[in-house]
Amino acid sequence: MNGRGANLLPAEPRAAIIGTGLMGGSVGLALKRDGWHVSGWDLDPDRRSLALELGVVDEIEEHPVADLTFVSVPVSSVPEIALAALERGGVVTDIGSVKAPVVAALHHPRFVGGHPMAGSEAVGVRGANPDLFSGAVWVLTPTESTDPEAQALVHSVVRSLGAEVLTLDAEQHDRLVATVSHVPHLMAAMLMGLAADRSVEHSALLRLAAGGFRDMTRIASGDPRMWLDICVDNRDAILGVLDEFADRLTDMRSLVEDGDSASLRDRLTLAQSARRSLPIGVPEVENLAEVAVPIPDRPGELAEVTALATSLSINVYDIEVVHSAEEQGGRLLLVVDAARASELAGVLRDSGRRVSVNDL
Amino acid sequence: MNGRGANLLPAEPRAAIIGTGLMGGSVGLALKRDGWHVSGWDLDPDRRSLALELGVVDEIEEHPVADLTFVSVPVSSVPEIALAALERGGVVTDIGSVKAPVVAALHHPRFVGGHPMAGSEAVGVRGANPDLFSGAVWVLTPTESTDPEAQALVHSVVRSLGAEVLTLDAEQHDRLVATVSHVPHLMAAMLMGLAADRSVEHSALLRLAAGGFRDMTRIASGDPRMWLDICVDNRDAILGVLDEFADRLTDMRSLVEDGDSASLRDRLTLAQSARRSLPIGVPEVENLAEVAVPIPDRPGELAEVTALATSLSINVYDIEVVHSAEEQGGRLLLVVDAARASELAGVLRDSGRRVSVNDL
């Protein structure tokens, strides 16, 4: 365990994994390596015995009591499973790839929505890998209801799995993943389908398909099942992005039809420069600052501050709640991009709080 | 030199390269390595002296007389340059990425349209590489006007550069490359543009962009200039494919909106299986057969046979014209996929020709 949330945990912390597939299994292996006791459960009896056999969990337990529970089941089942875990106590997070419906159904201070942006070609718990999240982005979607101490715990554990945390509003997350993941997947499938239909007539087509086409259709080779769920769970955001894409397609068609090379060059040059500036892996943030706010010991007020950062699209790189014996309440520490720290501090000062900013 | 067309060349064959950029330069280097004398010309004085300096050509010559001339200039300039080369004599081919407008403007028995499906991130003659075409597909688009001996020569030389030849009708070629190359490029640019517009609001987006998104937008990082020409040169085929894609987008949108998971699964499963069967590199053809047709020594009649194979979408893996001292005329030998040989032979027999088929 590293990170600032570690002080919230007992000496022998207990985790629970509900849903022992590839993702849940990978979390289990990583936590066990870090000294956690891990209980696991899966609706499928074969899958849960396999998880025990492969050592991704220490024990099988249908109703585990844990300091931190990872709910790694299909998005549509998350609310029910997470509510049951919350009733048993501890902090609860999930790993679903769509967040707004989950967060909307779980207005609980001890629930923190999450989405690790990691995957593998492997399927099922046999593909579980404790390093799956190393260097990956892991989105957390705290709300105004979220207790910052719960957020700090999940944040710290996610960091200990090797991931970088990105804090986002749940609906914002869903729109963004529709743009960079869900709609691109559908487009790859459409493109491959179009080519496949033509290849019935012309077997030559597949011989012409060079690297660019292979790149653009690669993700279409994945298992369709998870995408069917995603299309249901993230329907509205996907429809919105599909509509935006259709507008761009109409625009592009007009430029080609009219031979408007100047506008076409603008579009392609913009795309070229955007693509070239796409970071490889997780970008390093060089300059961080710590924003400290003393707050009375009322969870609602603490949560207001963290929710404010999220709503301003200021990523929280680290979060800690420091309780002090000398003063009533405590201090909330948020580590953010130094370039955004004064903006956050200003808004907090405007709301009547005393704020200090320290460059790290 | 290997291949069947070699016997058509003098002991010291002469080639000309008009347009000494990346592609022309790579052809020059490869031919020089194979013992050709290579003359080169480029409208740009700096580029032609650089070509000589880098040794991709043996000499600079504005009006070279050659056994084989490669016209490697922008598609819109090919007809004029190729006509001038045809007047000087020898066989002429080009390397333009769009073929119908070129072929339509050049109804000449000694012109054979070509398109090597190879490229490089390098720009200009400094990136020239004699192995650029090794393992690549090189499309040839003979017509009913094409002299099979000219086709056989180009075929043989292209094979000697390490490429696999794919014979296609010019319009068919243009529709296919619009599907697997031109429209995918525009889509990558549209997708990147859509994400870039959103990233102005949400810098988080670029951190969420994982491998799939990177794959799908990679080709958008290329130089826009060549694509502007392509959008003009291959306008009609590109519009046709954009329209087909728009139809698929409308269909996909309905399925997502209606939550029609069954149909969505059908689409995604079809795409998955098509993508998984996409060959890596150029597929090896195991079974080839030689179709031999004795023909009077009239170029028009020979060309009819090769054009027939092309129109039936039967790829010509090799072609040779054998002249015989004993008989008037000669024999045309076409090497084709064994599975298609009897179909071709049948059509040729129906037209009153004597045909023999030999498995290779």
Distance from CA of B256 to the nearest CA of A (A): 6
Asked if residue A228 has pLDDT above 80, the reply is yes
B109: helix, strand or coil: coil
> Model confidence over A47-102: pLDDT tens digits?
999 999 999 999 999 999 999 999 999 999 999 999 999 999 999 999 999 999 99
**Region B162-169 average pLDDT:** 92
Q: What's this model's pTM, rounded to 2 decimal places? A: 0.78
How does the average pLDDT of chain A come out, rounded?
A: 88
Dihedrals φ, ψ of B318, to 5°?
A: -160, 155
Distance from CA of A179 to the nearest CA of B (A): 6
| Cβ–Cβ below 8 Å for B209 and A250 | no
Residue whose C-alpha is closest to residue B204's, from A290, A184, A235, A309: A309
> Model confidence over A145-162: pLDDT tens digits?
999 999 999 999 999 999
Residue of A277, A278, A314, A336 for testing the chain B interface, max B β-carbons within 10 Å: A278
Distance from CA of A359 to the nearest CA of B (A): 21
Q: What is residue B120's predicted lDDT score, i.e. its pLDDT?
A: 63
Tokens 């509003």, located at residue: A169
Residues of B within 8 A of A114 (CB-CB) are none
| Cβ–Cβ below 8 Å for A246 and B243 | no
| Cβ–Cβ below 8 Å for A257 and B241 | no
| Cβ–Cβ below 8 Å for A279 and B206 | yes
The whole-angstrom separation of Cα B340 and Cα B337 is: 5
Asked if residue B17 has pLDDT above 80, the reply is yes
Q: What is the CATH number of domain B11-168?
A: 3.40.50.720
Identical topology for domains B11-168 and B288-359? no
In this prediction, residue A2 has a pLDDT band, given cuts at 50, 70 and 90, of: very low
**Region B155-172 average pLDDT:** 93
| Cβ–Cβ below 8 Å for A216 and B188 | yes
In this prediction, residue B91 has a pLDDT band, given cuts at 50, 70 and 90, of: very high
Residues of B within 8 A of A262 (CB-CB) are none
| Cβ–Cβ below 8 Å for B282 and A207 | yes
Which residue type occupies A119?
Answer: G
**Region B55-81 average pLDDT:** 96
When mean pLDDT is compared across A331-340, B101-110, B271-280, the lowest value belongs to B271-280
Asked if residue B75 has pLDDT above 80, the reply is yes
**Region B279-304 average pLDDT:** 73
Residues of A within 8 A of B256 (CB-CB) are 186, 231, 235, 238-239, 242
Residues of B within 8 A of A194 (CB-CB) are 179, 241, 244-245, 248
**Region A335-345 average pLDDT:** 88
Give the contacts of A159 (CB within 8 A, at least 6 positions apart).
A2, A3, A165, A318
Encoded tokens for A348: 């907090």
CA angle B190, B193, B194 (to 5 degrees): 85
The highest-level CATH class for domain A173-249 is mainly alpha
Angle at which helix B183-201 crosses helix B224-233, to 10 degrees, equals: 130
Query: Residue ranges per domain, chain B?
Result: 11-168, 173-276, 288-359
Q: How many Å is the Cα radius of gyration of chain A?
A: 23
Fold (CATH) for B173-276: 6-phosphogluconate dehydrogenase C-terminal fold (1.10.3660)
The nearest alpha carbon in chain B to A238 belongs to B256
| Cβ–Cβ below 8 Å for B246 and A242 | no
The highest-level CATH class for domain B288-359 is alpha beta
Q: Does domain A12-168 have CATH number 3.40.50.720?
A: yes
Residue whose C-alpha is closest to residue A143's, from A167, A177, A176: A167
| Cβ–Cβ below 8 Å for A209 and B270 | no
Tokens 């200090």, located at residue: A356
| Cβ–Cβ below 8 Å for A217 and B270 | no
Q: What percent of chain B has pLDDT over 90?
A: 55
